[in-house]
Amino acid sequence: MLGLTGIIITMVMALILAGVKVLNEYERGVVLTFGHYTGTKGPGLIYVVPVVQKMLRVDLRTIVMDVPPQDVISRDNVSVKVNAVLYFRVIDPSKAMLQVAQYYDATSQLAQTTLRSVLGQHELDDMLTERDALNRDLQTILDKATDAWGIKISTVEIKHVDIDESMIRAIARQAEAERVRRAKIIHAEGEQQAAVKLREAAAELSKEPQAMQLRYMQTLIDIAGDKNSTIVFPLPMDLIAPLLKKLNAD
């Protein structure tokens, strides 16, 4: 009889001890009583009534999630592979356990579809040069969608935008053409400015015939200083004009 009593006492003690749980500082326990949510406990030492209650342990630390490469077709019909990294944490343990099954997997799938959807609305140049703005857009959309799950999306970062080799060559050709175009524009603007200055200089020189002669002589000195074997002396029109008039008169 005593042996049976001892066994019963041992079983009761084991059952009581089985309800003792220890939750770390970064953990919370969602408690269900007969399947109904009855509260969130922790951290520290808590007690869950065996058989009657069940505890679901939730980690509140920030989780780093790699979003696998996604095939994205940009708005300008360029096919690229894009991957990202996602930082999130659970801020409401009860929602994370009761509103969605496997909140980690659900967040991962949502991040993949959102990445394809958002980037598909932008051109390739935006993906390469406007990453900060795209990261903010992704973070805002994901944070709003996961709010019902008790999850806070803190950061989204696009890691790599992989482009096909043929597309890389096309982009290089486009960049080279753009550089040539800008060079031609700069050269044309320089020619235009030089023409304006020459016209202004000619207008000033025409006001003073002596200045024109001095400029003519200076040009001859510059030509002679180059050690040329042949020097061509252009005659100013004001010197030969009287001769032309006399010939025409004859």
In the chain, % of residues over pLDDT 70: 77
pLDDT band, residue 243 (cuts 50/70/90) = low
pLDDT tier at 126, thresholds 50, 70, 90: confident
Model pTM score: 0.65
Comparing 138 with 193, the larger pLDDT belongs to 138
Q: Which residue has the higher pLDDT, 177 or 54?
A: 54
Question: Mean pLDDT over residues 123-131, rounded?
Answer: 87
Q: Is the CB of residue 164 less than 8 Å from the CB of residue 73?
A: no
> What's the mean pLDDT in 60-84?
91
Q: How confident is the model at residue 8 (pLDDT cuts 50, 70, 90)?
A: confident
Q: What is the pLDDT of residue 217?
A: 63
- Above 70 in pLDDT, residue 70? yes
Q: Would you place residue 100 in the very low, low, confident or very high pLDDT band (cuts 50, 70, 90)? A: very high
Structure token pair of residue 38: 């009855």
Burial of 25 (0-12, 13-18, 19+ CB in 10 A): exposed
Spatial separation of the C-alpha atoms in residues 175 and 169, rounded to whole Å: 10
Kindly state the DSSP code that residue 233 receives in the 8-state scheme.
Answer: -
What's the rounded mean pLDDT across residues 72-76? 88
Return residue ranges of the chain for CATH 3.30.479.30. 63-163
Could you read off the pLDDT of 178-190 as tens digits, one per residue?
A: 888 888 888 888 8
Instruction: Give the separation between CA 106 and CA 100, rounded to whole angstroms.
Output: 8
Confidence of residue 111 (pLDDT cuts 50, 70, 90): very high
Cα separation, 88 vs 61, in Å, equals 9
- Higher pLDDT: 54 or 16? It is 54
Residue 206 pLDDT: 67
Higher pLDDT, 238 or 149: 149
Check residues 153 and 128 and name the one with the higher pLDDT. Answer: 153
Q: Is the pLDDT of residue 248 over 70?
A: no
Average pLDDT over residues 54-78: 92
Whether residue 119 contacts residue 98, with contact meaning beta carbons closer than 8 Å, is answered with no
| CATH superfamily placement of domain 63-163 | Band 7 domain (3.30.479.30)
**Edge-to-edge strand list for the sheet holding 36-41:** 36-41, 27-33, 53-59
Tokens encoding 79: 């096919």
More confident residue, 3 or 149: 149
User: How much is the pLDDT for 92?
Assistant: 95
Pick the more confident residue, 99 or 12: 99
What is the reported pLDDT for 45? 92
